[in-house]
Amino acid sequence: MTDAATRAEEVARSSYGRLLAVLATPTGDIPAAEDALADAFERALASWPTAGIPDNPAGWLLTVARNRLRDLYKSSAHRTSTELEDTHTVLDNLDLEAIPDKRLELLFVCAHPAIEAAIRTPLMLQTVLGFESAQIAVAFAVPEPAMAQRLVRAKRRIRVARIPFVIPVLADMPTRLPAVLEAIYGAYAIDWQGVAGETIRESMSAEALYLATILAALLGDEPEAFGLVALIALSLSRAKARENGVPLDEQDTNLWDADLIAQGEAALRQAHGYGRIGRFQLEAAIQSAHCARRDGQPTDYVALRKLYTALVGIAPTLGARVSLAAAIGEDDGPEAGLAELDRIDAPRFQPLWATRAHLLSQLGRTEDARAAYEKAISLTTDEITRDRLRARAGE
Amino acid sequence: MRYSLLVMSREATEAEIGEEAMAWGRAAFDAYAKSLDSAGVLISADILQPVAAATTITVRDGALKVQDGPFADTKEKLNGTFVIQVPDLDSAIAWAEKCPGAQYGAVEIRPSAIVFSDGSWHQVD
Residues in chain B within 8 Å Cβ distance of A122: none
Check A197 against B38: CB less than 8 A apart. Answer: yes
Say how many C-beta atoms besides its own lie within 10 A of residue A159's C-beta: 15
Check A144 against B21: CB less than 8 A apart. Answer: yes
Check A141 against B28: CB less than 8 A apart. Answer: yes
Among A79, A107, A138, the domain-final residue is: A79
Distance CA(A122)–CA(A120), nearest Å, equals 6
Of A145, A348, A374, nearest to B18 by CB-CB distance is A145
Residues in chain A within 8 Å Cβ distance of B88: 378
Q: Which domain holds residue A42?
A: 3-79
Of A144, A198, A381, nearest to B94 by CB-CB distance is A381
Distance CA(B73)–CA(A73), nearest Å, equals 46
User: Mean pLDDT, 10 residues at a time, over chain A (395 residues)?
Assistant: 75 86 93 94 89 87 92 60 42 61 94 94 93 86 87 95 91 91 87 44 77 92 96 91 79 92 96 94 95 86 95 93 95 96 93 96 96 95 88 84
Check B104 against A141: CB less than 8 A apart. Answer: no
Q: Does B125 touch chain A (CB under 8 A)?
A: no
Q: What is the CA radius of gyration of chain A?
A: 25
Tell whether A35 is covered by a domain: yes
Residues in chain A within 8 Å Cβ distance of B91: 378-379
Among A35, A55, A79, the domain-final residue is: A79
Q: Does A374 touch chain B (CB under 8 A)?
A: yes
Check A146 against B18: CB less than 8 A apart. Answer: no
Tell whether A182 is covered by a domain: no
In terms of CATH, what superfamily is B2-123? Dimeric alpha+beta barrel (3.30.70.1060)
* A-B contacts (CB, under 8 Å): 65
Q: Is the pLDDT of residue B61 over 50?
A: yes
Interface of B with A in 6-35 (CB under 8 A): 17-18, 20-21, 24-25, 28, 30-32, 34-35
User: What's A35-100 look like in SS3?
Assistant: HHHHHHHHHHHHHHHHHCCCCCHHHHHHHHHHHHHHHHHHCCCCCCCCCCCCHHHHHCCCCHHHCC
Say how many C-beta atoms besides its own lie within 10 A of residue B22's C-beta: 13
Greatest extent of chain A over all pairs of C-alpha atoms, in Å:
83
Distance of CA A87 to the CA centre of its chain: 36
Written as one letter, the residue type at A272 is: H
Distance from CA of B91 to the nearest CA of A (A): 5
Candidates A150, A381, A388, partner chain B, best to mutate (most B CBs within 10 A): A381
Tell whether A379 is covered by a domain: yes
Tell whether A193 is covered by a domain: no
Residue of B nearest to A192 (CA): B98
User: Which one-letter DSSP state was computed for residue A293?
Assistant: G
The domain that holds A395 is classified in CATH as 1.25.40.10
Q: What is the pLDDT of residue A203?
A: 64
Check B86 against A378: CB less than 8 A apart. Answer: yes
Distance from CA of A165 to the nearest CA of B (A): 31
Strands B106-111 and B2-10, how do they pair?
antiparallel
Distance CA(B47)–CA(B25), nearest Å, equals 11
Nearest to A84 by CA among A131, A39, A145, A30: A39
CA distances from B6 to A72, A380, B23, B30, B96 (A): 48, 20, 21, 17, 9
Q: What is the pLDDT of residue A372?
A: 97
Written as one letter, the residue type at A245 is: G
**Measured CA angle at A128 (ends A167, A35), to 5 deg:** 110
Domain extents in chain B = 2-123
Residues in chain A within 8 Å Cβ distance of B39: 381, 383, 386
Residues in chain B within 8 Å Cβ distance of A134: 20
Q: Is the pLDDT of residue B11 over 50?
A: yes
CB B109 within 8 A of CB B93: yes
Of A146, A195, A347, nearest to B35 by CB-CB distance is A195
Residue of B nearest to A374 (CA): B87
Tell whether A95 is covered by a domain: no
Q: Does B104 touch chain A (CB under 8 A)?
A: yes
Q: What is the pLDDT of residue A14?
A: 80
Q: Could you give the ipTM of this predicted complex?
A: 0.78
Check A378 against B91: CB less than 8 A apart. Answer: yes
Of B38, B39, B103, nearest to A143 by CB-CB distance is B103
Q: What is the pLDDT of residue A195?
A: 41
Q: Report CA dihedral (A123, A13, B24, A142) to the nearest 10 degrees.
A: -20
Tell whether A377 is covered by a domain: yes
Q: How many domains does chain A have?
A: 2
The residue-averaged pLDDT of B67-96 equals: 93
pLDDT digits (tens, 9 = 90+) for B33-59: 999 999 999 999 999 999 989 999 999
Interface of A with B in 130-159 (CB under 8 A): 134, 137, 141-146
Tell whether A265 is covered by a domain: no
Higher-confidence position of A97 and B119? B119
CA distances from B64 to A262, B57, B68 (A): 78, 7, 13
Nearest to A215 by CA among A201, A230, A235: A230
Q: What is the pLDDT of residue A384?
A: 84
Residue of B nearest to A384 (CA): B39
Among A79, A101, A133, the domain-final residue is: A79
Say how many C-beta atoms besides its own lie within 10 A of residue B30's C-beta: 13
- 3-state SS assignment for residue B48: coil
Distance CA(A170)–CA(A41), nearest Å, equals 37
**Measured CA angle at A339 (ends A331, A332), to 5 deg:** 15
Residues in chain B within 8 Å Cβ distance of A193: 98
CB A126 within 8 A of CB A194: no
